[in-house]
Amino acid sequence: MPYRVGIDVGGTYTDAVFIHDGHIQQTAKVPTRSENLVETLMVAFDQLNIPDEQALSQITVSTTLVTNAILQNRIPPVQLLLFSGNGMSVDALPWPVSYLELTGEMDFRGREIEPPKQSEWGEFLMPNLRENPALVAIIGKFSHRNNLHEEQLSTYLRGINPSLRIALGHTWGQANFYRRSLTTYLNLAVSDLYREFAQQLQSAVSARKILAPISILKADGGTVPLAKIRPIESIYSGPAASILAALTQSKPTASSIIVDIGGTTTDIGIVLSGVPLLSAKGAQIGPFSTLVRTLAVRSIPVGGDSAIHSADQGFVLEDYRLGPAYCLGGNIPTPTDAMRYLGLIDYGNERLAEEALASILPIERRTPEFLHELAEAIIDTVAEKIAGAVASLKCEWQEEPAYKVWEVLHPQEAHSFNTLVSGGGARGMTLALEKRLKTPVTLGLYPEVSNALGAAMAKPTFDCTLHLDTYMKRYRVEETGEQGTWSGALRPHREVEGFLDTLARQLATSYGLQLNDVEKEPFDFFPIVKGYKTVGQIVRGAVHLRPGVIGRIDA
């Protein structure tokens, strides 16, 4: 195994690992400076003390940059223009942003029903967009079948203001108009922020004459080159990294629940017979529903640094963080202080941990007996919240199509899973979680840097899904929005297999990937009948590189 570095830029800490030949050579953990993520990242990199940086073969980064920008509403406004057509009123949907509906409609096969009105464009758009270098997202309800209207409006707007930044919805290629609109909106909104980060990171690495390629971890647990990723796809890469870390230390066919306890949040996910469960729906981030492919993971607002306040009935565990634990120099009592007082962890100042717990109790109850009781109650409360989330998620996971398929293929397997715990708060929570979950709980290897480990060992993911309408003589690629003319047979067989292989190889080459051991879905052929005669076919086929890791880590 070549020399690899994984770095996870979390909300609280940035973790890094240096790996060679299946062994972790060095780890690092530094506080995250949200105002300068690249500098934080490079500080963690330097602490790895890599003897020959030029010998590195891969650097993979997981970052909360885009996630935090969206959740903290630090994104610029985008003018959202919709060719919504007839049918269900878009007003019935819970839009978190404003939009403007324009005339123009395609049907579900991509045939033009009503052309756009250019006079309408001049009336509504020119006053606002002629002078300002605005961001504009254009989405048609069925533009994934025919992008003509999006392209026409884009050409018009660029003609009146070449400085406009325009994104088109068909490039997301899937049928859900609402999610496609919001995904296009968000990706454009965060594009400048991500581009600046990527340029600074590449410059910092190049300045050291490091030739190793830099990849970004995606929400689906796969990697993609720094310059090739669509920024919105980097959301929730931290939770995905914790799943991958579990794969590096579990049996290849193990089924596990993964619990990664960080400072601010706890990430929960599942692995079925060695394969991470993919969510059938796109990622939800804040009020935005998206088409971003993601592992079936969930973050809950409880962690080692969750703030604790005194209350009439004892204490309240808040769902937010107000800085580091008291025993680590912070100002607020946290679960980490309880862990330190009970001796469950060996970092932090024990005297300060005791002070933190004492501040929650009345003066007359600040005795070792009551302090011990309070610390245990805090740990139990954290464990109860995590266990409740796991129980809730189990019900949701069982409704996922991929889970149902797994149940059919593995009818003899018990559906009680082992639990693997990782993250900065893992060591202090293992016993309490085992008690609450009533299942075996294992502490992961190098739990404090598990996300960085998962990033370092991640493999690329790749998908190429072909949709072909031989009657309309049109094809499209779901992942890129590519659309083109089909010149082959009305009822193809081997011909369409070769066509998909060519498209997949071309797309993979653009990402610098070799398509070895790809998974091919069987083609679906649906006949189109007119006047009792078959006049064409709707064809669907796909190839995939599923999420996974390049190998196992030895203790």
Whole-number pLDDT of residue 414 = 62
Q: Which residues of 201-213 are buried (b: 16+ CB within 10 A; e: fewer)?
A: beebbeeeebebb
Cβ neighbour number for residue 414 with a 10 Å cutoff: 7
The pLDDT of residue 439 is 84
- Going by C-alpha positions, the residue among 323, 320, 350 that lies closest to residue 337 is 350
Neighbours of 43 (CB within 10 A): 17
CA-based diameter of the chain, in Å? 90
Based on its alpha-carbon atoms, the radius of gyration of the chain, rounded to whole angstroms, reads: 26
Alpha-carbon dihedral sign for residues 322, 327, 328, 331: positive
CB-CB contact of 345 with 339 (8 Å) = yes
The alpha carbon dihedral of 246, 249, 252, 255 has a sign of: negative
Cα three-residue angle 433-437-441, rounded to 5 degrees: 60
pTM value is: 0.90
Q: What pairs with residue 530 in β-bridges?
A: 533
| Cβ-based neighbour number of residue 285 at 10 Å | 20
What's the gap between Cα 366 and its chain centre?
A: 44
Tokens 């610098």 -> residue: 512
pLDDT of residue 124: 74
Residue pair 537/491 in contact (Cβ under 8 Å)? The answer is yes
Residue 264: HSE in the Cβ half-sphere, 13 Å Cα cutoff: 17
User: Are the C-beta atoms of residues 262 and 244 closer than 8 Å to each other?
Assistant: no
Spell out a b/e string for 56-89, using b for 16 or more CB atoms within 10 Å of the CB, else e: bebbbbbbbbbbebbeeeebeebbbbbbbbeeee
List of E strands, 253-410: 256-261, 266-272, 275-276, 284-285, 288-289, 298-300, 306-311, 314-321
Helix (H) or strand (E) holding 483: strand 483-485
Going from the C-alpha of 441 to that of each of 154, 174, 254, 274, 433, the distances in angstroms are 55, 39, 14, 17, 7
The rounded average pLDDT for each run of 10 residues, N- to C-terminus, in the chain (555 residues) is: 88 90 91 89 94 92 91 91 89 93 93 92 74 86 96 92 93 94 97 95 93 95 94 93 92 89 89 90 92 91 92 88 91 94 92 94 89 94 94 88 87 77 89 90 89 95 95 95 94 92 94 87 93 92 93 81
